[in-house]
Amino acid sequence: MALALCLAIVAGTLLGALYYGHRQARLRTMTEWAIAGRRFGSWIFWFVNAGEIYTTFAVLGISGYAWAYGAPAYLAFTSVSLASALGYWLMPRIWDAGRRHGLVTQADFFERHYGATWLAVFVGVAGIAALVVYVQIQLTALSLVFRLTFGPEVSALQATLAAAGVMLAFVYLAGLRSAAFAAGVKDVMMIVLVVALSVTVAAKVGASSMLDVFRLVQDQYPGIGAFPGLNPGAGLTNTWLVTAAINVALGTWIFPHMFQLIYSARDVRAIRRNAIWQPLYSLSYFFILLLGFAALLAGTAPPDGNPNAVLLQFVADRYPPWAMGLLAGTACLLALVPGSILLLAAASIFSRNVLLPLKRDLPDHALLWSSRIALIAFAAIAVWLTLTTNRSLVEIGLSAYAAIGMLAPGVFLAFLWPRATAVGIFAGMVAGYTALLLPAAEQLWSAFLPDWDRGLVAMGVNAAVAVLVSLCTAPHGLARADSARIS
């Protein structure tokens, strides 16, 4: 029953998405495939944007975090609202640059603004790396759903390969327009399902009402509702919340797929109105935390104590099989929609900003096909990462933000400080990666900045070096003129 429902949801959405995509299709050009011809109005922009924000990270990851740590799951409440407040200012600038210069990818932006193709190649590779880590989140979740639905006889390798296969099928068959349809379906399903689970959850765990669940969990687990939460040794303190929340807010729009999403908007009004409503939508994390706390009260024991599996295990234990089937199917969509958009962005960056500079005379259709082939390679790397690391979805998510934060100074300085140079931005990125990845740097941060989100520390190092080196190098004339126009 559960299995059949899960398959029906995924297959039904895929078919609907294909029909929708083909009806609207003009997929023969790169611009159409990757950024939907810059024609997304308010509604469709909302759904694709929400599709990016409400992922497995939010639903499975945050419920697992609430179950395992308590208060640190509040990070979810800061993620959308702060990104929207910042995005209200930032997004129109990115959109305007995209429209005026015909940009398709994020690396295009760096190439145009800093007047340096070599920087764009480097930025392209860095962006792809962060996207692949983000795909890893989706594959981790998708293979988990497969294993819990199909049973333990499915190996992790089989489940992950199947997950990657379904995701590739999703991207190949259409493009961003189909993802928009699937994003709409999954958002509606997720909201209905989560609310339905939540209004019935009290009786499952011996509480008298939804809010009574919070009273019970605070009485039984003192300290769960405030930082540092249930496991003080984990370093998830107030300092962690503050630094991680800022890093997430600064990094959200820097993801290459978010750049492409911004380009796809029809006008600034669609972008701005979206920024108003998107935070309210994130109040639905209330239900996710509620379910995580309820799972704790119910004594849910996920396989291997894996927090990512808590919500699925809790629903399997306490709800009828059809509820589990609906949740599994919706969780698949939660992973597939963002996953396909991420792969799409990675592939378009590869062909435009890494391949094209090497071979300038490549025609548009060859470019499109090379990017479709690159998808497989990126999916394979994500499969490998998924199989070799074993971390919570929130931890993987924060490392994706740390990786993409390396591109943030280059974007923000482009709009704030005309003096920034390509060499400065490059030097900042090199310093930032060193601060992020070098074991000696890690020792330094744990000694002097314990509990700080490492991504934010590295971003600070990156920005400081970028400014210093920019001051020592000659500014680029084009970049100056360009930012003067946007003000």
Partner 1 sequence: MSAHRTAHRWLLVLPFVWQVGLAPLVNDVALRPFSLPFPMFWQMAGIVLASTVIALVYALDRHLGAHPDGDPDVEPRD
Q: Tokens 């989100």 label which residue?
A: 453
CA–CA separation, 190 and 194 (whole Å)? 6
Which lies closer to partner 1 via its Cβ, residue 65 or residue 227?
227
Q: Which is nearer to partner 1, 271 or 343 (CB)?
A: 271
Minimum CB separation of residue 8 from partner 1 in Å reads: 34
Q: State the minimum distance, in angstroms, from the CB of residue 94 to partner 1.
A: 11
CA 51 distance to own-chain centroid: 9
Enclosing H/E stretch for 7: helix 2-23
In the complex, the smallest distance separating the C-beta of residue 465 from partner 1, rounded to whole angstroms, is: 25
Cβ nearer to partner 1, comparing 174 with 216: 216
Instruction: Work out how close the CB of 234 gets to partner 1 at its nearest, in angstroms, rounded to a whole number.
Output: 16
**According to DSSP H, which parts of 255-362 are helical?**
256-263, 268-281, 285-297, 310-318, 321-349
The verdict on whether omega for the bond into residue 303 sits within 30 degrees of 0, i.e. cis, is no
Q: Considering beta carbons, is residue 243 or 371 the nearer one to partner 1?
A: 243
Strand partners of residue 40 = 265
Residue with smaller CB distance to partner 1, 289 or 324: 289
Residue 90 beta carbon to partner 1: minimum distance, rounded to whole angstroms: 10
The nearer residue to partner 1, 125 or 210, going by C-beta atoms, is: 210
Cβ 57 vs Cβ 394: under 8 Å: yes
- Long-range contacts of range 68-71, CB-CB < 8 Å, 24 or more positions apart? 68/230, 68/231, 68/307, 68/310, 68/392, 69/229, 69/230, 69/231, 69/234, 69/236, 70/221, 70/223, 70/224, 70/225, 70/229, 70/230, 70/293, 71/224, 71/225, 71/226, 71/227, 71/228, 71/229, 71/236
366/486 with CB nearer partner 1: 486
Q: How far is the CB of 191 from partner 1 (least distance, A)?
A: 16
- For residue 334, the minimal CB distance to partner 1 (Å) is 21
CB of 482 to partner 1, least distance (A): 12
Q: Which residues bind partner 1 (CB under 8 A)?
A: 71, 74, 77-78, 80-82, 84-86, 88-89, 92-93, 95-96, 211-212, 214-215, 218, 224-227, 238-239, 241-242, 245-246, 249, 267-269, 272-273, 275-277, 279-280, 282-283, 286, 289, 485-487
Residues 127, 106 contacting (CB under 8 angstroms): yes
Distance CA 344, CA 352 (A): 12
How many CB atoms sit inside 10 A of residue 456's CB? 23
Measured N-to-C along each axis, helices 238-252 and 408-416 cross at an angle, to the nearest 10 degrees, of 70
Would you say 85 or 373 has its CB closer to partner 1?
85
* Structure tokens belonging to residue 432: 């930032």
